[in-house]
Amino acid sequence: MKVLVIGGGAREHALCRALSLDPDVTELFCAPGNAGIAQIARTHPVDPLDGTAVADLAVALGAEFVIVGPEAPLVAGVSDAVRGRGIPVFGPSGEAARLEGSKAFAKDVMAAAGVPTARSYLCTDAAEAAEALDAFGAPYVVKDDGLAAGKGVVVTADLQVALDHAASCDRVVIEEYLDGPEVSLFAVTDGVTVVPLQPAQDFKRAYDGDEGPNTGGMGAYSPLPWADPKLVDEVLETVLQPTVDELRRRGTPFSGLLYAGLAITARGVRVIEFNARFGDPETQVVLARLKTPLNGFLYAAATGCLADFPGLRWREGAAVTVVIAAEGYPESPRGGDPVTGLAEAEAEDGTAYVLHAGTRADADGTVLSAGGRVLSVTATGKDIPQARERAYAATARIGLKGSHHRGDIAAKL
Ligand code: AMP
């Protein structure tokens, strides 16, 4: 099968890597891709937000299957444009992707489906916001209603900071603070059947000890040795299946990847947010352990055949990924610096490898930084400590001027 992946981050590199290992995939394309993806797929420039351009490219390449990685193209309706040309797509329609694109829509779906989540108010002006903040008290949680690339959520003990963030957004969701460890659980669905993957944990803050600003994610590990073994079944029953059923009932079936961001609170599991696509960097560690060939699995979801798909198979052990970010990330990342040590970081036995995010190759093939998150160094091992040690050993071989990474990914279990 000829497969086209849309996107160009480490998530898409992880997807392309898994697809390139699937014997069903005869040709792999990625648009726009990055310098690492270009080593395993043919990359093409495209504006990922332009549905017509993406659909035209898919047709021109003879793609038989398109997988959309990031949220912004999904919310912009890129899946609909490609499906309109008769090509199966892994990724929800623009309507269904509102589950991620609008926090208020997600809250409405959860209320209708009886899914446990934080109590919340939708506020459209400063007076409403002030009232809601007062009702919940500190710590304050203020969420921009729309997509904001991981930067729309402010959690703060400072009332003025919370009020200022609310004032800077059009519409905000203000909600109760959820206390407890966070879990990311992905599920693949065709709109009816829901197949959960293995849980992961990511690290959102920029610096060690969960200090500093929120980022797109600085590292992840999977599985979660501390989690209740019944967690996945419980979330399937109380969160994932009811949400998929509710969206189908509304006439906007959700097919693709449903990502539940969860807090394990003293009062039970609560949804922090839904995403409509694979999470980055959790995908890097979840796919590192998935033994089932990826293409057939995602294609079954895209074509409504998940009920007949055999149970997933997983590798033993664990995976850890460490994100190397450019100087200045997340506020104002600098780009254009050479990245060294990429080959030296890879383990010959495949237990450590480097996934690219913001990179590009210059005319003579030198890899240069070209984004906030530059690399996602991923390793597997018999358990988390071994995977972690390998990931950090590989990270230490990479050179990028001014770059930073967290030293405490998967350190405390
Ligand atoms: P989101 O973009 O919704 O994932 O939010 C980003 C991060 O903000 C989450 O990963 C949490 O760490 C934090 N957060 C969001 N909502 C809440 C909440 N209700 N209570 C506590 N932390 C939250």
For helices 241-249 and 103-113, give the axis angle rounded to 10 degrees: 100
For ligand 1, the distance from its centroid to the CA atom of residue 154, given in whole angstroms, is 8
User: Where would I find the H helices in 114-203?
Assistant: 126-136, 159-168
DSSP summary character for residue 108: H
pLDDT above 70: percentage of residues in the chain: 99
**Strand, coil or helix: what is 356?**
strand
CA–CA dist 308, 4 (Å, integer): 24
Stretch among 14-18, 38-42, 141-145 having the lowest mean pLDDT: 141-145
Question: pLDDT tens across 364-384, in order?
Answer: 999 999 999 999 999 999 999
Report the separation in Å between the CA atom of 115 and the middle of ligand 1, taken as the mean of its atom positions: 17
Q: Mutate which of 156, 183, 205, 273 to test ligand 1's pocket (most atoms within 8 Å of Cβ)?
A: 273
CA 231 vs CA 175, 223, 262, 290, 324: distances in Å = 24, 12, 11, 19, 31
pLDDT higher than threshold 90 for residue 258: yes
Distance CA 226, CA 246 (A): 31
Band the pLDDT of 146: cuts 50, 70, 90.
Answer: confident
Q: Count the helices and strands in the chain (H runs, E runs).
A: 14, 22
Residue 382, classed as helix, strand or coil, is coil
pLDDT at residue 105 tops 70 = yes
* Residue range 18-49, pLDDT digits in tens: 999 999 999 999 999 999 999 999 999 999 99
What is d(CA 180, CA 261) in angstroms, rounded to the nearest whole number?
Answer: 12
pLDDT digits (tens, 9 = 90+) for 284-336: 999 999 999 999 999 999 999 999 999 999 999 999 999 999 999 999 999 99
Ligand 1 pocket, 146 CB below 6 A? Answer: no
pLDDT category at 214 given cuts 50, 70, 90 is confident
Dihedral of alpha carbons 111, 113, 118, 124, sign: negative
Ligand 1 pocket, residue 272 CB under 6 Å: yes
Q: Does residue 150 have a pLDDT over 70?
A: no
Distance (Å) of CA 210 to CA 118, 207, 220, 225, 298 = 22, 6, 13, 20, 34
Residue 261 near ligand 1, beta carbon < 6 Å = yes
Helix axes 10-20, 294-302, angle to 10 degrees: 110
* Ligand 1 centroid – CA 179 distance (Å): 10
Residue 8 in tokens:
């160009």
Ligand 1 center–CA 321 separation, angstroms: 21
Mean pLDDT of 111-127: 95
Counting ligand 1 atoms within 8 A of each CB, the residue from 140, 145, 153 with the most, and so the one to mutate, is: 153
Question: What residue owns the CA closest to ligand 1's atom 6?
Answer: 153
CA of 175, closest atom in ligand 1: 19
CA distance 118 to 272: 7
Residue 153 Cα to ligand 1 midpoint, Å, equals: 7
Under a CB-based contact definition with an 8 Å cutoff, are residues 375 and 360 in contact?
A: no
User: Mean pLDDT over residues 239-249, rounded?
Assistant: 98
Ligand 1 contact, 12 CB (< 6 A): no
Ligand 1 contact, 273 CB (< 6 A)? yes
Q: Does ligand 1 come within 6 angstroms of the Cβ of 202? A: no
For residue 88, name the pLDDT band (cuts at 50, 70, 90): very high
- Give the number of the atom of ligand 1 that is nearest the alpha carbon of residue 152: 2
Q: How far is the CA of 340 from the centre of ligand 1 (A)?
A: 35
Residue 297 CA, ligand 1 centroid: distance in Å: 30
Note if the pTM is more than 0.75: yes
Question: Contact 168/126 with Cβ under 8 angstroms?
Answer: no
Is 155's C-beta closer than 6 angstroms to any atom of ligand 1? yes
Residue 222 pLDDT greater than 80, yes or no? yes
Point out the ligand 1 atom lying closest to the alpha carbon of residue 143: 3
Q: Is the CB of 71 under 6 A from ligand 1?
A: no
* pLDDT score, position 123: 94
Q: How many alpha carbons fall within 13 Å on the CB side of residue 331?
A: 4
The position carrying tokens 């209740």 is: 228
